[in-house]
Amino acid sequence: MTDSTDLALAHCLADQADDVARHYFRAPGLRAEDKRDGSPVTEADREIEQALRASIRAEHPGDAFVGEEFGAHGQSSRRWIIDAIDGTASFLAGEPEWSTLIALEEHGAVTMGMVSAPALGRRWWAAPGGAAWMGPCPSDPSAPPRQLTLTAGGNAKDAAIGIWPPPSRLSETERAVAARLAAGTAAVLPAVDWSTVDPTTPPPRKPSTGSGTCHGALLVATGKADAFLLLGAGPWDIAALIPIVEEAGGTFSDLSGQRRTDTGAALFARPGLHQQLLNMAEAPN
């Protein structure tokens, strides 16, 4: 179980990431390279991941580490899972909805999650049994954090769901899942045809754009969406969000109903909706 020192370290790591990111954000001449999956990466992504790995090694030399940019290092029952900048495209565009995701996994279970969005001035965090919180970033004693608490979601047919990434970045099987959820719920963001790829359609905006959060799962945790499906994801895209959504009262699983971060799919939902949505996502016999 994560103790207070781990959570304190996570806040320090988030502060460190924020400082590096602010140095690069909206800086003239910031360039990106395309990775093999077509997503962008910048010097800021790499510098943050290297800095956090060094800080974790200094505090807990026996802990393992996995990050999006430099992969896995070490073997341990404790593993830190880092996404240096989630939303690099927004970061490059000078838009504020990007964040650093920090999670701690112990004996295969995520026991702490932290999301820091310095350009929005907000941070979200949680550990099992310790509730989910949203507070200012950097911390401000005059503005204490607010506990996140979700109410039941009712019928999935009335739900608003976010799905990401867009159809052009999904496999045929993934598009079919997304299309079934879009057809079975009341509203979907982005509002596109999830069953096909239309090269003439401009790239849609993420479900979180304009919401004041920077990840679709935070829309669920803060009660601004009923559910969020993330496809083609790595553990670093998912892990930090699990405690935040669950401690707020929501639910998480992959599309088979397992609480795993290594299958590429993550479904976050308001309480009472999860199984309904999983049933809806299943291919008909």
Position 135 scores a pLDDT of: 95
Q: Are strands 160-164 and 187-189 parallel, antiparallel or unpaired?
A: parallel
Q: Which two tokens stand for residue 95?
A: 């838009």
Per-residue pLDDT of the chain (285 residues; tens, 9 = 90+): 456 889 999 999 999 999 999 999 999 888 888 777 667 888 999 999 999 999 999 999 999 999 988 888 999 999 999 999 998 889 999 999 999 999 999 999 999 999 999 999 999 999 988 999 999 988 887 889 999 999 998 999 999 999 999 999 999 999 999 999 999 999 999 999 999 998 888 888 888 867 778 999 999 999 999 999 999 999 999 999 999 999 999 999 999 999 999 999 999 999 999 999 999 999 886
> What's the residue count for the chain?
285
- Per-residue pLDDT at 24: 94
Q: What structural domains does the chain harbor?
A: 4-147 (3.30.540.10), 156-281 (3.40.190.80)
Residue by residue, DSSP assigns 242-281 as: HHHHHHTT-EEE-TTS---SSSSEEEEE-TT-HHHHHHHH
Residue with tokens 């959570």: 7
Q: Report the relative pairing of strands 146-147 and 187-189 from DSSP bridges.
A: unpaired
The HSE-up count of residue 193 (CA atoms within 13 Å, CB side) is 8
pLDDT for position 4: 80
Phi-psi region of 119 (alpha: psi -120 to 50; beta: other; left: phi over 0): alpha
- According to the model, what pLDDT value does residue 206 have? 86
Q: What's residue 1's pLDDT?
A: 47
- Can you give the pTM of this predicted structure? 0.94
Tokens standing for 173?
Answer: 């099987």
Q: Tell me, what's the pLDDT at 139? A: 80
Distance, in Å, from the CA atom of 204 to the CA atom of 113, rounded to the nearest integer, reads 28
Neighbours of 22 (CB within 10 A): 13
